[in-house]
Amino acid sequence: MQPFVYEQLTHRVIFGAGSLARLADEARRAGIQRALVVSTPDRRFVDQVTRQLGSLVAGVYANAAMHVPIERAHEALSQVQSLKADGCVAVGGGSAIGLAKAIALDIGLPIIAVPTTYAGSEMTSIYGVSEGGVKRTGRDHRVLPRTVLYDPALTASLPGRVAGPSGMNALAHCVEALYAQDANPVITLVAQEGIRAMSHALPLVVRSQDDVEARSQALYGAWLAGMSLGAVGMAIHHKLCHTLGGSFGLPHAEVHSVILPHAAAFNRDAAPEAMRVAALALEEPDAPRGLFELALRIGAPTSLKAIGMPESGLDRAATLATQNPYYNPRPVDYAGVRVLLENAYHGRRP
C-alpha cells in the first residue's frame, strides 16, 4: 500500500430537498447577523434566499461573473464594508461562490454557500481572481465556506444544456483525484462514488427537469466531486481547461466536457489503477471512452471546434499548457498535448 497524507477540511454540510428552509438557523449558527447575499445578475434565487434570511439580510450584491473579475470583487467588498456585513450567503454556481471567496480572502468573513450547479467550488479552499485577462488562483483556508447547504430543489431549474456540461465538470474533479500526486484511499472512495452517482444521474437529469431523485443523486455526486477537488491536487485536465478558458475565453463547464475524455486517454497507460476504478464506477469497459460516450448521450459538447476554439490557437494552447512543469501521471510534453488538443478540437473518439 502506498503511504499517504490525508487532511480533513472542516465545514458543515446540509443536504436535502427543502433544506433551504434551514438557512436562517445556519446563518446564526455561523455567527452571521448581517449577511450580504451574493448572486449572478439573473438573481434567480435572490428572493427565495432573502425571504429565508429575513432580518439577517444586510444587502444584496447580484453582479457576480465567471472567473471573478477584480473590479467586481472590489465593488462587493466596498458594499460589505458600507453595509457592515459580517458574512456572505452565496447562492448560485461557481461564479457567485467565487465572488464570496474573493471577499473572504481580503477580510476573512464566514461564507454560507448554497450551490445550484455541479461546479464544486463550495467544497474547496481554492480561490481565483481575474485581472487584465489573467486569472490568479491559490488555496487559502479563509475562503472555505463555513457551511454548505445543498438543496436539490434549487437545481430543478437547471436546463439540460447547463446541467450536462456542469456534471462533466464534476466528473473531471473525480477522475483527476484518482490519479492525483497526493491521492489517498479516502478520496479515492469519495471520487469513485462521485463518478458512480453523477454518471448514473446525468442521463436522467438532462431528460427531465422534474426528476427530483436524479437531481438529488447528481447534486450528491457534485458534493463528492467538490470534496475530491478540495482535498488533492489536479493534473493535465485542469491545467488545459484553465489555459483554454483563460486564454481563449471558452465557457468553463463546456471546456471540461470536451477535454475530460482526452485527458483521461492521455493518462490511460500511465495510471492504470485510476482507469480501472473510473471504468468500474462508470460501468464501462474503458474510462476515457466511457466518458466520451456519456458526454454524447447527455448532449454535452465533445469538440473544441463546437464551443468556439479557433483551430489556429491550438499551437499556442499547447505551448501555454506545457511551459511550466506540473505533476501528471504521464510526463507532459508539447507533442503529446498538441495531439490531445487536435483530437479534442475535432471531437474524435478517444
List contacts with ligand NAD (CB under 6 A). Answer: 40, 42, 44, 66-67, 92-96, 98, 116-117, 119-121, 124, 126, 128, 154-155, 157-158, 162, 166, 229, 252-253
Q: How far is the C-alpha of 258 from the C-alpha of 341, rounded, in Å?
A: 10
The residue among 118 and 179 lying less far from ligand NAD, judged by its C-beta, is: 118
Grid coordinates representing 350? 478517444
3-state DSSP call for residue 8?
coil
The residue among 228 and 343 lying less far from ligand NAD, judged by its C-beta, is: 228
The residue among 40 and 199 lying less far from ligand NAD, judged by its C-beta, is: 40
The residue among 80 and 229 lying less far from ligand NAD, judged by its C-beta, is: 229
CB of 60 to ligand NAD, least distance (A): 14
CB of 333 to ligand NAD, least distance (A): 26
CB of 269 to ligand NAD, least distance (A): 28
- Whether the CB-CB separation of 113 and 97 falls below 8 Å is answered with yes
Name beta bridge partners: 350: none
2-5's contacts with Cβ under 8 Å and 24+ in sequence apart are: 2/183, 4/182, 4/183, 4/184, 4/185, 5/182, 5/184
Please classify residue 115 by burial: count the beta carbons closer than 10 Å to its beta carbon, then call 0-12 exposed, 13-18 middle and 19+ buried. Answer: buried
Number of neighbouring beta carbons within 10 Å of residue 285: 8
The residue among 155 and 267 lying less far from ligand NAD, judged by its C-beta, is: 155
The residue among 128 and 350 lying less far from ligand NAD, judged by its C-beta, is: 128
CB of 152 to ligand NAD, least distance (A): 10
3-state secondary structure 159-209: CHHHHHHHHHHHHHHHHHHHCCCCCCHHHHHHHHHHHHHHHHHHHHHHHCC
CB of 71 to ligand NAD, least distance (A): 15
Q: How far is the C-alpha of 252 from the C-alpha of 291, rounded, in Å?
A: 18
CB of 189 to ligand NAD, least distance (A): 20
CB of 92 to ligand NAD, least distance (A): 5
CB of 187 to ligand NAD, least distance (A): 15
The residue among 95 and 199 lying less far from ligand NAD, judged by its C-beta, is: 95
The residue among 157 and 181 lying less far from ligand NAD, judged by its C-beta, is: 157
Q: How far is the C-alpha of 91 from the C-alpha of 327, rounded, in Å?
A: 33
- Whether the CB-CB separation of 215 and 155 falls below 8 Å is answered with yes
- The answer for residues whose C-beta is within 8 angstroms of residue 314's C-beta and 6 or more apart is 338, 341, 342, 345
Three-point CA angle 325, 168, 156, nearest 5°:
145
Three-point CA angle 300, 304, 307, nearest 5°:
65
The residue among 98 and 164 lying less far from ligand NAD, judged by its C-beta, is: 98
Closest residue by beta carbon to ligand NAD: 94
Is the sign of the CA dihedral 225, 229, 232, 237 positive or negative?
positive
Please classify residue 65 by burial: count the beta carbons closer than 10 Å to its beta carbon, then call 0-12 exposed, 13-18 middle and 19+ buried. Answer: middle
CB of 99 to ligand NAD, least distance (A): 9
